[in-house]
Amino acid sequence: MKKTLLTTLFIATILTGCANSPENTTDLINTWAVSSIDGYTQPVDALTIKPQLTINKNFNATYSGCNTLTGKIRITTQDITTRNLISTQKMCIQNEQATVDGFVKQMLTGPSDFLVNSNTLILSSDNHTVTFKRVVKK
């Protein structure tokens, strides 16, 4: 498992230099489903419905998990953060959903490095990495 995490971080580090340029920020505009945390698919695999992060053309972000998070994304060439992040205050059971939601909230309040590559969005800080996969509309 450590090998998976190290590989993910290594690839993200290599690709970050070319992927974070301002001209690639339009690639963020999409709906993304959480796929792993720190290279591990658990606890995400335990969820019946995968939480999603939707970023619109005005860079407003909405995350749907147990609680809903909304805010305006601020992007620099180095990182991504959200301004005025608002959250619902549901009493979420401390389970896999609460764990996933906590990591995503931490990444959104950032600042977090970001990488958009094909169908993958990676948000990372000094301590954690959350990976999202592009949601294909049917």
Name the nearest CA neighbour of 121 among 7, 36, 45: 36
Give the pLDDT of residue 20: 43
Q: What is the mean pLDDT of residues 46-61?
A: 91
Identify the burial level of 121 via C-beta atoms within 10 angstroms of its C-beta, where 0-12 means exposed, 13-18 middle and 19 or more buried. Answer: buried
Domain count, the chain: 1
Identify the burial level of 120 via C-beta atoms within 10 angstroms of its C-beta, where 0-12 means exposed, 13-18 middle and 19 or more buried. Answer: middle
Give the pLDDT of residue 90: 81
Which CATH number is 81's domain given?
A: 2.40.128.270
Give the lowest-confidence range in 29-38, 57-66, 92-101. 92-101
Average pLDDT taken over every residue of the chain: 81
Q: What is the mean pLDDT of residues 3-29?
A: 53
Give the pLDDT of residue 6: 41
Provide the phi-psi class of 108: left if phi over 0, else alpha when psi is between -120 and 50, else beta: alpha
Expressed as residue numbers, the domain containing 45 is 2-134
Give the pLDDT of residue 30: 94
- 131 and 118 Cβ atoms separated by less than 8 Å: no
Q: Is the pTM of this model over 0.85?
A: no
How many helices (H) and strands (E) would you count in the chain? 2, 8
- Which spans in 37-117 are helix H? 96-109
Say which residues have a Cβ less than 8 Å from residue 14's Cβ, sequence separation at least 6: none
Give the pLDDT of residue 10: 43
pLDDT confidence band for 8 (50 / 70 / 90)? very low
